[in-house]
């Protein structure tokens, strides 16, 4: 996959079409402690646009506009986390969204393995390396290996969505998936507001 690195924001005037695959890299899993370091975006054309953030520099008007654009569906794997990070750092309500992990849970009921690596292996026959997952994403200069890894996380989301959409239609669960996707921005807001560990639908 081809990688274009941008410091602080997407270039002016760049459009990535109606369906944009997105992933983020952070310093950890706690949105209050661990800052957003990188956002990777792809139109599904083999090019990854990686936006690198310096600490405290989250103005990014072009990226924020795309994330909030109602005409652009943001395609994630485990959207809940990325949406919360965008909300916390970019102060943006990221929607509409599609999440391959939720789609997988609604159709691949024969397994409890819904990691990106598992999905890409089973549905696309591709082996993903997770070697660089735990590395210093806050570094001023990211390594070639880190950037290649970051890009690989958005490289297959369009193809995964196509495969999962077919399965959702086959099982009559497209509407349930859509309802879950619609709720995701509120779920991320609940996470940030103190309900992270609580299932609000539980008894
Ligand atoms: Mn990633």
- The pLDDT of residue 123: 98
Distance 8 CA to ligand 1 centre (A): 18
In the reported structure, the alpha carbon of residue 150 is separated from the centroid of ligand 1 by a whole-number distance in angstroms of 5
Distance 132 CA to ligand 1 centre (A): 9
Around Cβ 47, how many Cβ atoms within 10 Å? Answer: 15
pLDDT at 133 over 90: no
| Mean pLDDT of the region 137-159 | 96
Domains and CATH numbers, the chain: 2-195 (3.30.420.10)
Alpha-carbon distance 31 to 197, whole Å? 14
What's residue 130's pLDDT? 77
| pLDDT exceeds 90 at position 194 | yes
The model's pLDDT over 1-30, given as tens digits with 9 standing for 90+, comes to: 999 999 999 999 999 999 999 999 999 999
Distance from the alpha carbon of residue 183 to the mean position of ligand 1, in angstroms: 22
For helices 174-190 and 100-107, what crossing angle results, to 10°? 130
Question: What pTM value is reported for the model?
Answer: 0.96
User: What mean pLDDT, rounded, does the chain reach?
Assistant: 97
pLDDT value at position 60? Answer: 98
Look-up: residue for tokens 């970019």? 90
Report d(CA 179, CA 31) in Å as an integer.
25
Q: What is the pLDDT of residues 42-94, one digit of tens each?
A: 999 999 999 999 999 999 999 999 999 999 999 999 999 999 999 999 999 99
Q: Tell me which residue of 47, 54, 60 sits closest to 2, measured CA to CA.
A: 47
Kindly list the protein residues that place their beta carbon closer than 5 angstroms to ligand 1, a single-atom ion: 23, 153
Between CA 180 and CA 99 the distance in angstroms is: 9
Cis, bond preceding 96 (omega within 30 deg of 0):
yes
Instruction: Average the pLDDT over 162-182 and give the result.
Output: 98
- Mapping DSSP to helix (H, G, I), strand (E, B) and coil, where does residue 70 land? coil
Ligand 1 midpoint to CA 125 (Å): 19
pLDDT at 131 over 90: no
d(CA 24, ligand 1 centre) in Å = 6
pLDDT at 132: 76
Distance 87 CA to ligand 1 centre (A): 17
d(CA 171, ligand 1 centre) in Å: 29
Q: What is the pLDDT of residue 191?
A: 97
């Amino acid at each position: 996959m081809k990688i274009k690195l941008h410091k602080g924001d997407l270039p002016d005037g760049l459009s990535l079409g109606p369906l944009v695959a997105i992933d983020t890299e952070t310093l950890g899993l706690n949105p209050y402690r661990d800052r957003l370091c990188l956002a990777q975006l792809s139109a599904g054309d083999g090019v990854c646009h990686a936006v690198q953030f310096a600490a405290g520099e989250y103005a990014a008007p072009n990226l924020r506009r795309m994330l909030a654009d109602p005409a652009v569906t943001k395609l994630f794997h485990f959207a809940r986390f990325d949406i919360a990070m965008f909300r916390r750092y970019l102060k943006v309500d990221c929607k509409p969204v599609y999440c391959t992990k939720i789609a997988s849970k609604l159709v691949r009921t024969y397994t409890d393995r819904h990691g990106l690596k598992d999905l890409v292996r089973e549905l696309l026959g591709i082996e993903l390396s997770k070697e660089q997952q735990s590395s210093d994403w806050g570094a001023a200069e990211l390594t070639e290996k880190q950037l290649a890894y970051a890009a690989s996380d958005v490289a297959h989301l369009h193809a995964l969505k196509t495969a999962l959409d077919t399965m959702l239609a086959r099982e009559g669960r497209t509407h349930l998936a859509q309802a879950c996707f619609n709720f995701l921005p509120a779920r991320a807001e609940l996470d940030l507001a103190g309900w992270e560990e609580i299932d609000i639908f539980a008894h």
